[in-house]
């Protein structure tokens, strides 16, 4: 135990004292606080600049009226810059009475240069022309205008009918289904958003920290430091100390990120409560509660230890960093499969019985069980069972990994063959 603690302290101090570790932690802490504040920042900027031409992210669109749309007062009032701004929130400029009228080339150049998000050319009726750049923002801003044109034409045509006919047309047009949606398990969109963020976090953190374990082992073998270490420490103690040391470094970094999130929430909570938006709106509409923090920590560390022990065993069988990526293909593929299973679960592609069975497969459990919780499909008993199965798998993998590690650290200049690995696994 003393040797394990010595290795653990050495690995932990080695990681947390590096400039890269500290820089990444600081960058992410600042980034999380800024990210949680973005809705409030954008809302404040838009509120201040709304009377002066739109919000921070708004652009300007142009309208060019001709024919009936220019001569008819109803059309002209309906497509004034003020009326159009109410449709999609974009600032509008009326180029209809420019002298001389803008040419097609001039309008195209203005859109290409970013002077206008898009240009609407309209002469009445349902036909219209749009000059738009090759970006999604232009299309998204025009969709409300397209519906507005349709409704405006319907209204104008209806107003030209006799009063009795107008009443009948309006009554028929108002007929629409009135569905009452009862969402079981919380809001689907919010569940997907929360679940996606959580599985991204789990995948990247587990992958990142297990890579640290691999790099540490291969680096020490490359520098021949491993030869000195195994003379003073048993291989099993060395492997366990490295994995736990990196795990504690991960805990320190994750704790800093969680603290940053808490600070960001505390700063922005009054604004979210006032507007009903931001992370507060997503969480309230989803299916997660305060227990999610405990669930994430438990499943992250169990998942990390499972993959870290597997990675440590494979990495010990090579002597060069470029070989480590090859031998660790299996654990990387397994965690990627778990990630895609999580995505398909969030999307509702996989059957519930299938994903329920796969969520108890240890290599998929860290991600799929968290996803099922965000979807409201599991309770405390299932979460505890998943954690117990995962813990048992960690112990089994650690025992097998120790046997491979004991053999692998003695290999230099050659790769371990399948026969050697099998012999190591059968050894007592």
* Domains of the chain as residue ranges with CATH: 2-35+188-426 (no CATH), 57-172 (3.40.190)
Q: What is the pLDDT of residue 91?
A: 86
Q: What is the pLDDT of residue 57?
A: 47
Cβ distance 92 to 63 under 8 Å?
yes
- The dihedral through the CA atoms of 184, 187, 188, 191 has a sign that is negative
* Residue 387: band (very low, low, confident or very high) from pLDDT cuts 50, 70, 90: very high
* Lowest mean pLDDT across 47-61, 113-127, 251-265: 47-61
Q: Answer yes or no: is pLDDT of 411 > 70.
A: no
Rounded to an integer, the average pLDDT of 191-208 is 84
Find all residues with CB under 8 Å of 99, minimum gap 6, and list them: none
Rounded to an integer, the average pLDDT of 123-133 is 87
Phi/psi class of residue 360: alpha, beta or left (left: φ > 0; alpha: ψ in -120 to 50)?
alpha
Rounded to an integer, the average pLDDT of 221-227 is 64
Rounded to an integer, the average pLDDT of 36-58 is 59
Q: Answer yes or no: is pLDDT of 49 > 80.
A: no
Q: What is the pLDDT of residue 103?
A: 87
Phi/psi class of residue 91: alpha, beta or left (left: φ > 0; alpha: ψ in -120 to 50)?
beta
Mean pLDDT of the chain: 80
> What is the C-alpha to C-alpha distance for residues 390 and 371, in angstroms, rounded to an integer?
16
Q: Answer yes or no: is pLDDT of 360 > 90.
A: yes
User: Which carries the bigger pLDDT value, residue 392 or residue 216?
Assistant: 392
Q: What is the pLDDT of residue 163?
A: 84
> Quick one: what percent of the chain has pLDDT higher than 70?
81
> What is the C-alpha to C-alpha distance for residues 93 and 104, in angstroms, rounded to an integer?
16
Q: Answer yes or no: is pLDDT of 56 > 80.
A: no
Q: Which of 115, 289, 310 is nearest to 209 (CA)?
A: 310
Q: Answer yes or no: is pLDDT of 384 > 90.
A: yes
Q: Answer yes or no: is pLDDT of 142 > 50.
A: yes
Distances (CA, A) of 394 to 128, 300, 390, 397: 64, 12, 6, 5
Q: What is the pLDDT of residue 52?
A: 46
Rounded to an integer, the average pLDDT of 81-103 is 86
Q: What is the pLDDT of residue 333?
A: 93
Q: Answer yes or no: is pLDDT of 386 > 60.
A: yes
Query: Helices in 328-417 by DSSP H: which ranges?
Result: 329-347, 352-358, 365-374, 380-408
* Residue 414: strand, helix, or coil: coil
Q: What is the pLDDT of residue 171?
A: 84
Task: Give, as one character, the DSSP assignment of residue 126.
Answer: S
Distances (CA, A) of 8 to 2, 11, 13, 304: 10, 5, 9, 16
Find all residues with CB under 8 Å of 293, minimum gap 6, and list them: 258
Q: What is the pLDDT of residue 99?
A: 79
Q: Answer yes or no: is pLDDT of 186 > 60.
A: no
Q: What is the pLDDT of residue 94?
A: 92
* Residue 67: strand, helix, or coil: coil
Rounded to an integer, the average pLDDT of 113-123 is 88
Q: Which of 409, 175, 178 is nearest to 314 (CA)?
A: 409
* Residue 182: band (very low, low, confident or very high) from pLDDT cuts 50, 70, 90: low
* Residue 53: band (very low, low, confident or very high) from pLDDT cuts 50, 70, 90: very low
* Residue 252: strand, helix, or coil: helix
């Amino acid at each position: 135990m003393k040797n394990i603690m010595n290795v653990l302290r050495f690995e932990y101090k080695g990681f947390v004292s590096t400039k890269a570790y500290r820089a990444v932690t600081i960058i992410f802490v600042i980034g999380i606080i800024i990210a949680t504040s973005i809705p409030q920042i954008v809302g404040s900027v838009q509120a201040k600049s709304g009377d002066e031409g739109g919000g921070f992210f708004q652009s300007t669109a142009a309208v060019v009226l001709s024919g009936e749309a220019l001569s008819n007062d109803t059309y002209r009032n309906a497509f004034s810059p003020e009326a159009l701004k109410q449709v999609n929130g974009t600032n509008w400029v009326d180029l209809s009475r420019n002298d001389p009228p803008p040419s097609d080339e001039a309008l195209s150049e203005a859109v290409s240069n970013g002077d206008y998000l898009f240009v609407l050319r309209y002469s009445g009726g349902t036909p219209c022309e749009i000059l738009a750049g090759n970006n999604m923002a232009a299309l998204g801003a025009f969709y409300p205008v397209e519906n507005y044109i349709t409704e405006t034409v319907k209204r104008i045509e209806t107003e030209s009918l006799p009063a009795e006919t107008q009443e009948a047309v309006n009554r028929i047009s108002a007929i629409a289904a009135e569905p009452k949606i009862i969402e079981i398990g919380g809001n689907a969109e919010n569940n997907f958003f929360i679940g996606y963020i959580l599985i991204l976090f789990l995948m990247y953190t587990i992958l990142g920290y297990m890579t640290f374990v691999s790099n540490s082992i291969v680096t020490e073998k490359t520098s021949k430091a491993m030869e000195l270490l195994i003379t003073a420490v048993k291989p099993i103690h060395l492997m366990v100390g490295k994995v736990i040391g990196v795990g504690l470094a991960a805990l320190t970094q994750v704790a800093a990120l969680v603290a940053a999130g808490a600070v960001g929430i505390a700063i922005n909570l009054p604004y979210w409560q006032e507007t009903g938006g931001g992370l507060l709106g997503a969480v309230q509409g989803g299916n997660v509660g305060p227990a999610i923090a405990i669930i994430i920590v438990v499943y992250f560390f169990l998942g990390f230890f499972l993959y870290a022990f597997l990675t440590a065993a494979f990495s010990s069988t090579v002597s060069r960093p470029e070989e480590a990526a090859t031998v660790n293909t299996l654990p990387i593929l397994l965690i990627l499969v778990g990630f895609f299973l999580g995505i398909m679960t969030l999307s509702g592609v996989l059957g519930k019985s299938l994903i329920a069975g796969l969520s108890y497969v240890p290599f998929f459990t860290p991600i799929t069980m968290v996803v099922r919780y965000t979807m409201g499909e599991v309770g405390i008993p299932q979460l505890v069972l998943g954690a117990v199965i995962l813990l048992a798998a960690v112990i089994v993998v650690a025992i097998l990994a120790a046997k491979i590690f004991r053999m692998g650290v003695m290999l230099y200049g050659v790769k371990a063959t399948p026969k050697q690995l099998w012999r190591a696994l059968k050894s007592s």
